[in-house]
Amino acid sequence: MPAWHEATWVDPDEKQKRRFRGGWLWLLLIPAALVLFSVARFNDYWQYDDMTITTLECDERLGGSPTWADMESAGCAPAAIGATLTLVDAGRGTDPEPDMDGTNWTFKNIPTAFSTLVLNVTVPESVGGVLIVDAEQDPPAVLREMTPSDVARTVFARNLGELDTLTLYVVVYP
């Protein structure tokens, strides 16, 4: 038995070599990722786009489940019908006001990643119905029929749901 003050020889190859352990890097990476995510979310980097809506007016009434060919045969064409379009996100109107030239409405910075968008259409005279059409498909396809909100059939509203398009037609028919 060696004495307490006696030195012992330790072979350096038998001892495990100290290596760099990177586990503590996660403590820096996770907060850095959270800060980047928060900055991106605060500045609205990935979920806001511009949406364009064009108003079309038809000469003839459309039947149930119309197609684009039915709309063409009914004489649907872009027209300034005096309508007022409003996009509402979870009860709040869009900000700022949309750019419009009579038939085209461009809504800036619309939250397109969520399904809380509602389109309100107010027309000056009573109409038979209003359709929301996906303008980016070939041929354009009807997404939804809008629901009248008043007895006079001048105010229509509909949830847009989840959209894959940023270009829509609002088709008004007698």
Stated as kind and residue range, the H or E segment containing 148 is strand 147-148
- β-pair type (167-173, 48-57): parallel
Q: Helix, strand, coil: what percent of the chain each, to 5?
A: 15, 35, 50
Domain ranges, ordered by start, for the chain: 48-173
Stated as kind and residue range, the H or E segment containing 99 is strand 99-100
Say which amino acid occupies 43.
Answer: N
Q: What is the pLDDT of residues 82-114, one digit of tens each?
A: 888 888 876 666 666 777 887 899 988 777 776
Say which amino acid occupies 8.
Answer: T
How far, rounded to the nearest angstrom, does the alpha carbon of residue 19 sit from its chain's CA centroid?
A: 49
Whether this prediction's pTM lies above 0.75 is answered by no
Q: What is the pLDDT of residues 26-66, one digit of tens each?
A: 788 888 988 888 887 766 566 778 889 999 999 998 888 88
Q: What span, in angstroms and rounded, lies between the C-alpha atoms of 171 and 79?
A: 10
pLDDT at 112: 73
Q: What span, in angstroms and rounded, lies between the C-alpha atoms of 58 and 127?
A: 10
